[in-house]
Amino acid sequence: MARKILILAREAGFPLEPEDVTITPLLPESCQTAPTVPAFFEELEHNNDYFENLLAEAEAKGEKLRFVAHFENNKATIGLRSVNAEHPFYQLTGADNIVSFTTERYKDRPLVIKGPGAGAEVTASGVFADVVSIGSYLA
């Protein structure tokens, strides 16, 4: 997601670098620093109330949770946000991606581009193709 916001900002003429993107992790620190896979899942279980509360708060307002990259005033941020039914991201499903541009021309109604993201299958096939390519190069 950080690469996507960097590419879009750069294409729009902003000299952004990876360290310029502020990322609020989706997972709590204890999950990120778990020493093993089983420990990671244990930490997820311990933090279940945190996630349930986030979801309940959003649903109580008629909103949905989305992991969003945002660029405004030369600042790029990425993090979990609660969006209402008026927000273009509200209807996202599955591996879909959406980019919403609010500009001088599209001030009242943003320009929205929506389509399928890579998803697990396409990403896995890309990784497999890279492995095969590297393997044939090394052979």
Report the alpha-carbon distance of residue 55 to residue 26 in Å, rounded: 13
Q: Is 4 a catalytic residue?
A: yes
Amino acid at 89: F
Q: What does the pLDDT average to over 94-111?
A: 82
> What domains appear along the chain, each with residue ranges and CATH number?
1-84 (3.30.360.10), 92-139 (no CATH)
5 close to 76: Cβ distance less than 8 angstroms: yes
- Encode pLDDT of 14-41 as tens digits: 988 999 999 998 888 888 899 999 999 9
Question: What is the C-alpha separation between 28 and 31, in angstroms, rounded?
Answer: 6
Portion of the chain with pLDDT greater than 90, in percent? 26
Looking at the predicted structure, is the pLDDT value of residue 95 above 80?
A: no
Confidence of residue 124 (pLDDT cuts 50, 70, 90): confident
